[in-house]
Amino acid sequence: MFGDPGASITAQFKPKLSAYITREYQATEMLRGEVVTDEIWSQNLDELDNITGWYLMEDRDNGTFAIVLA
């Protein structure tokens, strides 16, 4: 019923923090569904120190954003 009794599966948990930015919403607007936009940054939480600082940087020439370590 369950296949080969000697078979096994290994799972690996990798917590990931992701950041997204969009200008399609107002600061006080409630999000009622999924926000569809590209990820601008991601980091494996296991690789971060317990206390970290980050800067959100905007390139005003081309309108892009980046997150950099403080």
SS3 46: helix
Q: What is the pTM of this model?
A: 0.63
Q: How confident is the model at residue 2 (pLDDT cuts 50, 70, 90)?
A: low
What pLDDT, on a 0 to 100 scale, did the predictor assign at position 1? 57
Task: Give 10-65 pLDDT, tens digit per residue.
Answer: 888 899 999 988 888 888 888 888 878 889 999 999 999 999 999 999 999 998 99
* d(C-alpha 64, C-alpha 57), whole Å: 8
Rg of the chain taking only CA atoms, in angstroms: 19
Let me know: does 67 contact 55? Beta carbons within 8 Å.
Answer: yes
Tokens (6 digits) for 49? 């120190």
Let me know: does 35 contact 66? Beta carbons within 8 Å.
Answer: no
